[in-house]
Amino acid sequence: MKANKWFLPWILLSLCLFACQGSPRLRVTMFVYDSNDTFMASFAEEMEGILDGDFDFSVSFAEREQAAQTLAAISAIEGGTDALIINLVDRLSAGAIIEKAYREDVPIVFANRKPLSSDFNPKAVDADYSRWIDENCFYVGSYPLYEGRAQAEIANAFFGGPGKFAKGEFDRNGDGLVQVAVMKGEQGHQDAEERTSACLSGLEELGYSIDVVKTAYGNWERQSAFNEMTSFPIDDIELLFSNNDDMALGVVDYLKVDSAGKEEESITEAYFPIVGVDATAQGREAVDQGDIIGTVVNDAHGQCEWISKIISHLLKGEELGKVPEFVSEEGNYYYVEGGIYSSLV
């Protein structure tokens, strides 16, 4: 009888363990456009750190091949993933993934690269398709208009205001205009275009008259920006805005090669002030060393936290809750505001 007394609890415990093992965690698959992008690589790590405890999380890198990313996303959907997080290679190519996700009822959160508004608001006859997108497709990214304006604020703090600039050493040719160069991220990327527009208009709103002497696409890459600098009129530039820190560092690399033998203490003194975006570890170090005058925080943690809330809302039915003050909401689009990393502001 003693043996029987203990036998039943062991059976119940075994059944419980078997049941737990038989209920795998919900699967979330993330797709990133390029593993060599410093910001997005850290973004993926941040996302894994937040989600991995509650979900079976995995990351796939497309290395800038949209066809490969689309096939991998479709394969993940067919393989039973429960949700997708997609950092598109080409923001024009979201439609095929969305259509497949709709057929298999797999929700998507797009990150950093915003799909076309037509993909989120299709002119489809099928009302169920449109309703499904409203309930299952979201975008979370940075706030590029804020970032551009913040870059202008950093430059303004460095110059000491438009009046001081026009009468000081920073107006090197004495024409009263700020000769500006811009290293843009990527043709067609919404953040590149909006950051560029906002940093230039931001300077004008602060009272500066500007002359854009050169713009080029560095494709978010340090080496590409280095290569592009060969075509920049270095002696004519009085300020350079870069759409991200990697490209700003590529500019610094080029100027350090060019500056061999110069006696000035810093890149800023020898050439011109440089302002970045992202506040990566390397970008912050460049600010601390005086190679660039400031960078704008692209809040990866804030974006990943909000994505995790959306994922939990979609897969577990949890309340999304109140949108934080640092997040701007436009329908299913969420823009996360960062801050400024500079001793000037």
Assign domain 25-142+300-337 to its CATH superfamily: Response regulator (3.40.50.2300)
> Helix (H, G, I), strand (E, B), or coil: what is residue 93?
helix
Provide the token pair at 72: 């991998």
Q: Check if 25-142+300-337 and 144-297 are the same fold.
A: yes
Given CATH 3.40.1190.10, say whether it is the number of domain 144-297: no
Reading the chain (345 residues) residue by residue, the pLDDT tens digits are 334 444 444 434 444 444 444 557 899 999 999 999 999 999 999 999 999 989 999 999 999 999 999 999 999 999 999 999 999 999 999 999 999 999 999 999 999 999 988 888 877 668 889 999 999 999 999 999 999 999 999 999 999 999 999 888 999 999 999 999 999 999 989 999 999 999 999 999 999 999 999 999 999 999 999 999 999 999 999 999 999 999 999 999 999 998 776 666 689 989 999 999 999 999 999 999 999 999 999 999 999 999 999 999 999 999 998 999 999 999 999 999 999 999 998
Q: Where are the domains of the chain?
A: 25-142+300-337, 144-297
pLDDT of residue 88: 97
pLDDT of residue 127: 85
Closest CA to 298 of 189, 86, 181, 140: 140
Which residues fall within 8 angstroms of residue 37, CB to CB, at 6 or more apart? 220, 221, 246
Which residues fall within 8 angstroms of residue 25, CB to CB, at 6 or more apart? 54, 55, 56
186 Cα distance to chain centroid: 13
**Angle CA 5–11–15, to nearest 5:** 155
